[in-house]
Structure 1
């Protein structure tokens, strides 16, 4: 078009090279609190023997992305350990606190509640029960 400046080849190539990097940065840091459900188990997950989680204890099953706790009366609770902020798998349990490696969100492993932002949505609770001496977590409905 006449009268309109044409960008140089260098400007076009520089813009093209920077565009994917900027896009990845935004996508990697965008919160998952937009209502989209993070990944969670889709089939029953056999976590191990019933004796692995004592009364008052919490256990992280890293490979299955599940945390299980047992209260003082013996009742089990299980939560997906996929962070509700950006979908990162949580691999760190400090006592009863889960710490996400991506942005530092913290969750109570016994209740799933958010202890520290940026996450604002609790972890997804999974139905859990003991079947034939094994702890089995099921996907949420």
Structure 2
């Protein structure tokens, strides 16, 4: 009568327990850190304070931004415009309606494809709803022909 318990197949309880343990181990591993990673955030913070790092990197050349238009920098989350020659502005690339990324700068506006919102390239103000408020301004610096995020 002991022959029925000699089946080598794992039980459902064993499988569920193993999967749960593997998931817990993965979560704990993701929360862990090593000494090299712990030192990186402090280095990044000091570089930003000193004007180095990502904040000091050249975002674009002034010649890259058309007069009366602009350029979207998706990875940096910014749109840089040049409303009039030599005047550069920067705004968030996220529409204030549903946070969709804007995808074009045409006809004097920054345009969101999701619901049709349009923003003025001069000040980020809403030119066409449904956006409830202007695009937030971003700080940039122009040094010679280089445009940098501040």
The two structures have a TM-score, normalised by structure 2, of 0.54
- Aligned residue for 1:102, secondary structure, equals coil
Partner of 1:110: 122
> Could you tell me how far apart the structure 1 residues matched to 2:83 and 2:117 are?
24
> Could you tell me how far apart the structure 2 residues matched to 1:61 and 1:133 are?
18
In the alignment, does 2:40 pair up with 1:57? Answer: no
Partner of 2:109: 97
Which 4+ runs in 1 deviate beyond 3 A?
none
Contact 2:93–2:102 (CA under 8 A) maintained in structure 1: yes
> Could you tell me how far apart the structure 2 residues matched to 1:123 and 1:68 are?
12
Contact 1:47–1:61 (CA under 8 A) maintained in structure 2: no
Q: Mark the runs of 5 or more structure 1 residues left unpaired by the alignment.
A: 1-41
Q: Mark the runs of 5 or more structure 2 residues left unpaired by the alignment.
A: 1-47, 49-53
**Counterparts in 2 of 1:130 and 1:84: CA distance versus 1, 3 Å:** same
**Which structure is higher in helix share?**
2
The two structures have a TM-score, normalised by structure 1, of 0.57
> Could you tell me how far apart the structure 2 residues matched to 1:71 and 1:108 are?
9
- Aligned residue for 2:122, secondary structure, equals coil
- Aligned residue for 1:79, secondary structure, equals strand
CA-based RMSD:
2.3
Structure with larger Rg: 2
> Could you tell me how far apart the structure 1 residues matched to 2:111 and 2:65 are?
20
